[in-house]
Each structure stands twice: as C-alpha cells, then as structure tokens.
Structure 1
Amino acid sequence: MSTLNSLKMVNSKKPTSIPPVLHRRNKLANKVWEQLQLAKANKDGGTFTVKKFKTVKDSDGARKNIEHEKRIRQWWFIAADGKVCLNVRYGAKIIEFAKGKTAVEVNSADELIKALEIIKVAVEAGELDAQIEAASGAVRAGFRR
C-alpha cells in the first residue's frame, strides 16, 4: 500500500460528451491536417488518400463493410499573378479571417505547408472559434426549412 501512497488520488468522473465548441474545433483541425498531408504529398509528387468504411448491402441482402477512398478537395488554387491562395473551409462555407479577407496568399508549396501548420495551431488554440461558430451557424441555417 505504501507504493500507492506516492500517487495523488482524486475523485474524478469521465465526461460523457465534449462541448460543441471543442467538437467543431477538432473537426476543423482534422480537415486542416488532411489539407496539410495533401500539400506535402503534392510537393513530393505523390498522392494522399484517406480510407473510409461504408456499410452496403450485397445481392443477398446481407450488410458488409467495404473500404473506399475519401475524396479530398484541395483548398488552395493558383491566382492570376502566379501566387498560391489558400481558403479555409468549414463544411461548404469559407472562413473569413478578417473583414473581407478569406484567403491566405503564399509564394510556394513550402510556404503553403508552413501556412497550413500555422492555421492548424491557431485552430487548436481556439483563435478561430468565432469564425468557426459563424460558419457553423451558416451551415446549420441551410438545413432549416
């Protein structure tokens, strides 16, 4: 019993759900991570795919899980001046970083990767919570009739 006395004992309860703000933050951080991996793969000349499981019924009516690749669309594009512009999306909505500013402009693939890493850190730190909340509300409003 003396070995257990060296540990700090507390009364704790595991939370049953996470707050909605944290859920949205984690969702966006995961999507930014996918874009980061896609950018690294494009820079190296490779491809990046995410595997996803889908339940389907076969001809006998039995359900089975099949694995397929999830389509990932890149969030960046080449502007008319040759620079790379990056839009961050939450669902179908583009997040506005500042009033009227929806894109990050970079010069190369290396800078794109650095920009995505900075955005991921900012999302995880909660710096974009207000923008995520606004985009989430706009997405939810689209489902109401």
Structure 2
Amino acid sequence: MSNLSKLTVKSVIRCNKQDPVQHRRQKLVAGIEEQMNVVAAARKGESYDVAKRTWAKNEHGEQVLVEKMRAVRAWFFEQDGGWYVQCKYGSRALALGKGNAVFVKSLQDVQGALATLKDATEAGELDEAIENMLKKRAKKAA
C-alpha cells in the first residue's frame, strides 16, 4: 500500500482574492495607525522607528536574515503657526476636498485629525481620492 493512497486527494483552485477597494482601505488605515504612533513619539520628543527584516551577509559571507531599524517619516509638519497633516497613500498626498492637508493649531490636535482621517477611510469617504491618485500615477507611468 502506497503512502499517497492513505490521503484524500482532491483538485482545488485557491480563491483568496480580496476586494481591491477593501485592500486599499486597509493599507491606508494601517498607515494612519502607524502615524498615530509617530505623533505619540513626537509628543514625547522621540523618533518612532520600526524593525525591517532584510537579507545581509554576515562575517562568514553567508546570507542571513537580519532586523534593521528604520525611522518612519511623519505625515505632519509645523508651518504657518500650526501643524499640517497630510494623508498619504504610498508616497503621495491624497486630495482632501479643496486641498491636500488638514490644518490644526497644535501637535496635540494632530492625533485627532488622524483619528478623523481613519474614520473617513473606514467609511469609504477617501475611496475616490485613492482612485484618482492611482489613475494619475498610471498616466505618468504610461
């Protein structure tokens, strides 16, 4: 008796396709949550770093998986007597109505602006802005 005859073998086509709109929302929400951590660190006067796994050669010349720390760039900056908060998808700022940034008076208000952007993303209010940004990116690549 062969080993394979002990198993139940079937043909299957794996289907794990997620709705692209939902995937974009989740990606943007993850970025906003990361920015909330950046704000919390900035309020303490610290920088926010995350571990990035990458391949590198060790002292014996072998490829090994190592963790490197990288600083996360903030989506907010101080200017004009207040703070501007941008909502970015990838490296580009999304258009938020008439502009591309939210203005708040203090660093403490940045957290609230990011929370509102997160709620808007989860409600689907930024889907059109993401779609327009992706169309512009595709035109420039062509």
Which TM-score band applies after superposition, normalised by the shorter structure? 0.7 to 0.9
Measure, in 2, the Cα distance between the counterparts of 1:25 and 1:131: 11
Structure 1: give runs of 5+ residues left out of the alignment. 1-13
Letter in 2 for 1:44: K
Deviation at 1:61, TM superposition (A): 5.1
Structure 2: give runs of 5+ residues left out of the alignment. 1-13
Q: Is 1:87 matched with 2:101? A: no
Count of aligned pairs: 129
Sequence identity (%): 29
Secondary structure at the aligned position of 2:16 is classed as coil
Q: Which residue of 1 aligns with 2:34?
A: 34
TM-score, normalisation: structure 1 = 0.78
Secondary structure at the aligned position of 1:126 is classed as coil
Q: Identify if the C-alpha distance between structure 1 residues 133 and 54 changes in structure 2 by more than 3 Å, giving closer, same or farther.
A: same
Q: CA RMSD in A?
A: 2.0
Measure, in 2, the Cα distance between the counterparts of 1:31 and 1:69: 17
The answer to whether the Cα contact below 8 Å between 2:28 and 2:121 also exists between their aligned partners in 1 is yes
Deviation at 1:47, TM superposition (A): 2.7
Q: Which residue of 1 aligns with 2:7?
A: none
Deviation at 1:72, TM superposition (A): 1.3
Q: Which residue of 2 aligns with 1:19?
A: 19
Measure, in 1, the Cα distance between the counterparts of 2:138 and 2:63: 31
Letter in 2 for 1:67: E
The answer to whether the Cα contact below 8 Å between 2:48 and 2:71 also exists between their aligned partners in 1 is no
Deviation at 1:63, TM superposition (A): 2.3
TM-score, normalisation: structure 2 = 0.79
